[in-house]
Structure 1
Amino acid sequence: MFKKTLALLAGLLVTVAVYAAGAQLRADHPDTYVVKKGDTLWDISARFLQKPWLWPEIWQANPQVHNPHLIYPGDVLNLSYDGQHVMLKPRMREVGSAIPAIPLDDLKMFLDDMRVVSSDKLKASPYVVGFEENMPRGVTGQFVYVRGLQAQPGQRWAIVRPTHMFRSFDDAPTRVAHALDSNVAMINGPWQEDSREDGHYGKGDEIGVEVRVIGTAKMLRGGDPATLLVTDSNREIRAGDRILPVNDKPYDPYYYPHAPKSVPDNAHVIAFTDSLSSAGKHEVVALSIGSSDGVDNGQTYSVFAPGETIHDDVASSSMQRSIGDHVKLPDEFVGHVMVFRTFDHVSYGLIMDGVRPVHTGDILRMPE
């Protein structure tokens, strides 16, 4: 397909050098597109490009511009074939109305309520030991008593409960002990895993414990136990629930789809949501790589199902399949996944497209 240099007119007054670098236009691309409320950057990119994750390659800007990738409802995106430079015309806007990379409405739970921490950090964290008037549970407006907390009066804290333990796909599986020494057992989170004897669940090295934020509390008095006032909660608080710092860093949805610089060897899909055996378009999956592996929001990967190893019935006897020649079939392309939240060793990703369902154990590679 004939490659043309693509420039998009929108945003700030700067001069932009653009280049194709393999970013091929769709055969049915529009010449002009007006950005609408509810659009996402991925969907807009897919209107112009065969590979939406190559958006940065056709939208390069001067480094002093804070974020030239922000586009807004009402912006008109035009194709320009100058091949050298274009002018971006200014317009005053509220940043809060910018178009995000992916649909966020259905991801609120994963953006606001979920975190992934190490089991060592969780086991060392302060924990709820009791409630006012020796009540069996705690709710908003009640005192809770917490052991192991060193804090100043007035400080706010998050109350969390473990929901899931993520494990790697190591070749030498090892069973991992329960993450906590408390009377709060792991509860069912949004994740599904293969729990068969030959499956993944319970095997591999632990790479993170997911916790759900179930409330916040304010420090009133120090001591062991310390006294905290529950300021809000979405579940009854139980003895053994853990105390972690409030996450005051807001989620930034204004990133763009892009390819990673490299893909770690251990990059797999380790869990998925919303179904019993597989995941499809616009469903969330957990990945076995995180910020310590260089993963950031917007990174896009191709997902491949591992090829099966079969007996070669032509080269050796089909009556004795336990012996003779075996051959591993090629890995098969499944779809694309984009990362939208990262932790040290685990990331959450959204399946953007696909030709078949995604399963745990599927492999991540450079997007193609």
Structure 2
Amino acid sequence: MKSQIAALFIAAAAVLPAIADTLTVKADAPKRYVVKKGDTLWDISSLYLRSPWKWPELWQNNPQINNPHLIYPGDILSLGVDENGNPVLRIDKGVRKLSPQVRIISAKGAAIPTLPLSVLEPYLKFDQALSKDDLSDVPIVLGSNKNFKMSIAGHLLYVKGDLLQGSTYGLYRLGNPYKDGFTTLAYETKLVGIGRAVKGGDIADGVPSTLRVVDVKQEIKAGDFVMPIAQGQDHKAAFKMSKPNIAIDGKIIASANRHTEFGAMSVVVLNLGSSQKLVEGSVLNILRQSPTVIENEDGPRYIEDSSSLDKLIGDIGSLFGEENSEDSTVWHMPSEKVGELMLFKVYDNISYAMVTKTTHPIRVGDSVTN
């Protein structure tokens, strides 16, 4: 009998991956949807799928679509099935009847963004994450034409660097380091102003460049650094959603709002980047480590409720891999999924990501994996 039950489990295990890989459309998915300005690709994908990153599978063998990640306001999405009974999404040809004639609507504007542009835009345009090497020869503000410690719009700034006359530059201030344990991965930088170079300099001859301040976010100070607006700003707002096909193991190391807990649409920083083969659009799970339990003669208790001796046993045991004693047993509970996020700006060793879904408040220190 046991062998028969085991055989059933093996057969079920063989079937389960196939079931898991089957594309399932939500029961309440709309049969027809008109894309509107302000929509995001993630939101529309979520209307149809519980796993929105499987969006391209809905466009399988669809000759109308070159890139399923680029759809436009006015596109009419129509849900149907193919000859094999699989769900498929199509774009209606956009014909509107206007009596007594027919007009074909074909003009395209900008593709809708993958995530809310209002949240992404400051990061896509200006915010930077720079390493010490990046900062080694960046032009800096020496002072201004006014004997003020802080500059405002209209002031002329003198910059230690050879700027290109007529070009627009961002003025930045170095923020907190992004750390992974004791290792600094990069430094946060914040935009404090925008200026236009009115005169180039010649640093070799001791002549600074001149920059006129045209917009101020915060007071500009001597020591703030200067970078061309175009530098590092070629990140797009529409990108391919995908689950990485290699093992990913990282964590959230910072949040944009600096709160201890945060929810959906929050921007976070990960200790992962292109070095781990991640790209804009990569979707990862957020995991929360369940509390550790120490079991002794008094029964099981969470580690924070245990005695100092039991906590010490747990700490030393974790360090040396011997977590059980004659009197106590340390139980490390599994991690549980508490949300999902999508990367939208990727550097070598860190990434900016938006939290797209939560079941519990997200925290700095939570793990991310595929």
Larger radius of gyration: 2
Cα distance between partner residues in 1 of 2:113 and 2:140: 37
Cα distance between partner residues in 2 of 1:125 and 1:163: 15
Aligned residue number for residue 255 of structure 1: 239
More helix by share: 2
Q: Report the TM-score when normalising by structure 2.
A: 0.74
Aligned residue number for residue 164 of structure 1: 176
Unaligned runs of 5+ in 2: 1-19, 95-105, 302-306, 314-324
More strand by share: 2
Cα distance between partner residues in 1 of 2:35 and 2:285: 27
Cα distance between partner residues in 1 of 2:123 and 2:112: 19
Aligned residue number for residue 154 of structure 2: 141
Shift, 1:25, TM fit: 1.6
Q: How many residues matched?
A: 310
Do the aligned residues in 1 keep the contact of 2:59 with 2:90 (CA within 8 Å)?
no
Aligned residue number for residue 341 of structure 1: 345
2:288 equivalent to 1:310: no
Shift, 1:21, TM fit: 4.4
Shift, 1:275, TM fit: 5.8
Do the aligned residues in 2 keep the contact of 1:145 with 1:225 (CA within 8 Å)?
no
2:204 equivalent to 1:232: no
Deviation per CA, 1:30-51: give whole Å up to 9, x if none. 3222323322211111121121
Change (3 A) 1:155 1:333: same
Residue type of the alignment partner of 1:212:
K
What secondary structure sits across from 1:261 in the alignment?
A: coil
Residue type of the alignment partner of 1:335:
G
Aligned residue number for residue 69 of structure 1: 69
Residue type of the alignment partner of 1:307:
S
Shift, 1:62, TM fit: 8.4
Do the aligned residues in 1 keep the contact of 2:64 with 2:91 (CA within 8 Å)?
no
2:122 equivalent to 1:118: no
2:327 equivalent to 1:327: no
Shift, 1:337, TM fit: 0.6
Shift, 1:140, TM fit: 2.9
2:189 equivalent to 1:211: yes
Shift, 1:270, TM fit: 0.8
Cα distance between partner residues in 2 of 1:83 and 1:35: 26
Shift, 1:161, TM fit: 0.8
2:260 equivalent to 1:246: no
Shift, 1:86, TM fit: 8.6
Residue type of the alignment partner of 1:93:
A
Unaligned runs of 5+ in 1: 1-19, 170-203
Cα distance between partner residues in 2 of 1:29 and 1:45: 10
Aligned residue number for residue 32 of structure 2: 32
Change (3 A) 1:35 1:152: closer
Cα distance between partner residues in 1 of 2:226 and 2:269: 24
2:109 equivalent to 1:95: yes
Cα distance between partner residues in 2 of 1:47 and 1:87: 15
2:277 equivalent to 1:294: yes
Cα distance between partner residues in 2 of 1:210 and 1:247: 18
Q: Report the TM-score when normalising by structure 1.
A: 0.74
Deviation per CA, 1:169-190: give whole Å up to 9, x if none. 4xxxxxxxxxxxxxxxxxxxxx
CA RMSD of aligned residues (A): 2.9
Cα distance between partner residues in 1 of 2:76 and 2:260: 42
Aligned residue number for residue 268 of structure 2: 285
Aligned residue number for residue 181 of structure 1: none
Do the aligned residues in 2 keep the contact of 1:117 with 1:343 (CA within 8 Å)?
no
Cα distance between partner residues in 1 of 2:297 and 2:46: 44
Change (3 A) 1:153 1:105: closer
